[in-house]
Amino acid sequence: MFVKPAPASALFAGPFALATLSVPDGSAFPALVTPDARVLDLRAALGDGRLTVRSLLEDWEAALPRLEALADGGAEQRKPLADFRVHAPVEARQVFQSGANYRQHVIDLHVAHRAPDDDRSEEERRAEAAEIMDRRAAEDLPYVFIGLPSAITGPYDDVALPAWAQKPDWELELAAVIGRPAYQVSVEEALGHIAGYTIANDLTDRATVFRRDMPQIGTDWLRSKNAPGFTPLGPWIVPAASITDPDDLQVTLKLNGETMQDESTKDMIFDVARVVSYASQTARLLPGDLVLTGSPAGNGMHWGRLLRDGDVMEGSVTGLGVQRTRCVAEES
């Protein structure tokens, strides 16, 4: 089962977006989607039956003008989006995740994860967290770790909450999609390597973030973030040219209709270009790879309300559309 998208007058910013779609019992295919919810099968339109969204991104400079031309014409060949199932928009080879990148969010987490023997006031702990954030910004050191592509699921698919996950939480994020290989690129060059943007919900089991058997090891991102379906992605990739300023977008998550996260990407400690550049200093970023840029304040730990069976999350980012996922408890 999956939660169908609600109708909208404009699904996203700009003249088109990329999606991966399928019909019931059919294979997935790359599609050009227009804001009026119409779909063009790009395999037929570009004459390549083996085409995927990732292969388009691998030759993005050549593909982009062809896609722009298709968006301008060929309306008679388009079909209603409602006839298709929407999958995660791209099969990423690598997923880079930026942690602790929204100032207020990190301060809230610092307070929520108080050690049992820490008897300081909340005000003192908030002041300490603010000082840490200021120091990180001054030292210019983003925090980036690796996620698994196998955790990715579609934007309207059900999300299975593992029986072992005691504190499953939401973390809605802006995700950059790489369009040109990036290795040791400067901050000034970084945005030029981004093909577009999409939405990611980086689910986290808070109970397993820190290793309790050996605290010196630190965080356990494999266990806490990479269960199957823990990264709902999409619904679309909106080309970078359609997003005026990725560092001024509203990130909003609603849980069962109630707004829990609602913050601008202005609150990021390190902007999109800085995070992409930083990741590229160590790793070679490839077309189709995802760079998640962190999640703002308002996660479940802040509200004292974590995910449960039957919850429906609705996540939106300015100009990128809306994803809706339902939580389903996995049987033990």
Stated pTM of the model: 0.92
Both tokens assigned to 222: 């494999």
3 state DSSP class of 121 = coil
The whole-number pLDDT of residue 167 equals 97
pLDDT tens for the chain, 332 residues long, are: 444 544 445 799 999 999 999 998 889 999 999 999 999 999 999 999 999 999 999 999 999 999 999 999 878 889 999 999 999 999 999 999 999 899 888 787 777 767 777 888 888 888 888 888 888 888 888 999 999 999 999 999 999 999 999 999 999 999 999 999 999 999 999 999 999 999 999 999 999 998 888 888 888 999 999 999 999 999 999 999 999 999 999 999 999 999 999 999 999 999 999 999 999 999 999 999 999 999 999 999 989 999 999 999 999 999 999 999 999 999 86
Rounded Cα distance, 13 and 279, in Å: 27
Burial 210-219 (b: 16+ CB within 10 A, else e): eeeeeeeeee
The answer to whether residues 203 and 226 touch, using CB atoms and an 8 Å cutoff, is no
- What are the tokens at 293? 């840029």
Backbone angles phi, psi at 265, to 5 degrees: -65, -10
Burial class (CB in 10 A: 0-12, 13-18, 19+), 162: middle
Domain ranges of the chain: 17-87, 95-329
- What's the N-to-C CA distance of the chain in angstroms? 20
Rounded to 10 degrees, the C-alpha dihedral 304/223/163/172 comes to 50
Exposed/middle/buried for 58, CB within 10 Å: 0-12, 13-18, 19+?
Answer: middle
CATH architecture label of 95-329? Alpha-Beta Complex (3.90)
Cβ atoms 190, 280 nearer than 8 A? yes
